[in-house]
Every structure is written in C-alpha cells, then in structure tokens.
Amino acid sequence: MTDLTGKTILITGASRGIGAAAARAFADQGANVALLARGTDAIADLSGEIGPTALAIPCDVARWSEVARAVDATVSAFGGLDVVVNNAGMIEPIGGLAKVDPGAWGNAIDVNLKGVYHVMRAAVPVMLAQRSGTAITVSSGAASHALGGWSAYCASKAGAKMLTECLHAEHGATLRVMGLSPGTVATQMQREIKASGIGPVAQLDWSDHIPPEWVARALVWMCTEAADDLRGTEVSLRDGGVRGRIGLA
C-alpha cells in the first residue's frame, strides 16, 4: 500500500485481534512497531515473529507512569514516534446500570478513555517537537449510539471520540488526527459479547463480523496522504465508499 520504512508506530492492545493484525500490517510496510499490551507473552511472541523492527513493551494503558515509560522506550529504541494507534479497549462489564459492579465500570473508563488520554499526553509532545505525527483512535458505533447493557463501553467510547476531536481542535494544523469506527470485528471482544446474550450485537453470527485484517489495512491507509481529506473525522468502515478507497471487498 505504501512504504513506511523508518516510520515508528506505537500500537496499544497489540497482543491480539485488531492490535496484532495492525502490527503485522505496519511491519509489512517497513515500519518499526512498538507493541503495548498487558499480555506480555503474547506481545513477546508477536515481536519475535515480526523481528528486529518490533519492540514488545508490557504496559497497562490505565496507568499513566507505564504509558509514559513506554513512549520513552519507543523513542529511545527507534529515534522517534510517527503514529500512535489507540486500540486497547474492553467491553466488560456488560449489564444493566443498576446491577453492574462499580469497580468494573470504573475499570472500563480507565482503559477505554483514560488510556487514550495517557497515550495522547505522552506521545503528542514528541510529535509536536517533530512537527509531524498521526494519532488514530479505534472507535465504535457505541460512541454515538446508546445501547442497553453497554453503559461503560458506550460512555467510555463517546469520551474517547470527543477526546480525539479535542486533539484535532488543538493540534490539527500540525498533526493528523482521526478516529476509525470499524463496525463489528471478529475478535475476542465479540466472543464476550456473544456470551453475554445482551443486546442486538450478541445475536449476530460470527460470519457477520469483518476480519481484523480489514481494520489493519484501514489503519495503514489512514497513515497515507490518500486519507488527508479525512483528518479530524471519524472514518467508518461501514461506509462502502471508504471501503472502496481502501480497496476492501
């Protein structure tokens, strides 16, 4: 799709699903990839698979100090930071507002919303010093449409969407800032949703979900000049026109 040789991409939630597929896709285009996740074994295995252009960094995005150290380690290893993909996210707890555990609800906010802020807060000064950079937040239709039983996920994703818009409002003249709403993707999150039995998404068949490789291709494409007209927006893979531009079936 494009030559990203020498560019450095930081991906959160890189241990599986969209994050792992994105790591492979960016590496295939010649980029260095920093793989952040709590699952240390998984990112170590993925780093070994990709080779010397990959760096596995155990990191809980809900903890500011760990994110700050991860960004520092990325810059130290590769000499800069060109793209951040805020992908780490969780769907649980699924359940009614009056029943879900407050601690679990707060944990979803910590990961899905505060985690995005932590990465932006650590990475944006590096990018501004370089006078260039791309920040992409993996969003969801739940950021704009309330779903019963998904209060933590909807609220956190709506907050992350607005946070991304704030970043564009502040630094859109220098940085490329976008969101990506992929629709339903065949990942572990969908298995958790299916197991809950709650809501319309839980009723979908596995074949209804797109593969994570489609999302990975979209993320790579969004880092090219071909997507410059979409800066400051939330790109939707439900849009046939967008899929056509990316070259997805």
Looking at residue 197, its amino acid is G
Residue 173: exposure state from Cβ atoms within 10 A (0-12, 13-18, ≥19): exposed
How many helices (H) does the chain have, and how many strands (E)? 9, 7
In whole angstroms, what is the distance from residue 151 CA to residue 146 CA? 8
Which stretches of the chain are assigned E, i.e. beta strand? 8-12, 32-37, 54-58, 83-86, 134-138, 176-181, 234-236
Vertex 160 angle, CA 46 and 15, to 5°? 10
3-class DSSP assignment, residue 185: strand
Which helix (H) or strand (E) element contains residue 159?
Answer: helix 151-171
Please indicate whether residue 153 is annotated as part of the active site. Answer: yes
The residue from 105, 153, 214, 221 that is catalytic is 153
Q: What's the rounded Cα separation, in Å, for the pair 122 and 78?
A: 16
Q: What is the SS3 assignment for 47?
A: helix
For residue 1, give both structure tokens: 């799709």
Contact in structure between 61 and 46 (CB atoms under 8 Å): no
Do 23 and 46 meet the contact criterion of CB atoms below 8 Å apart?
yes
Residue positions annotated with a catalytic role: 153
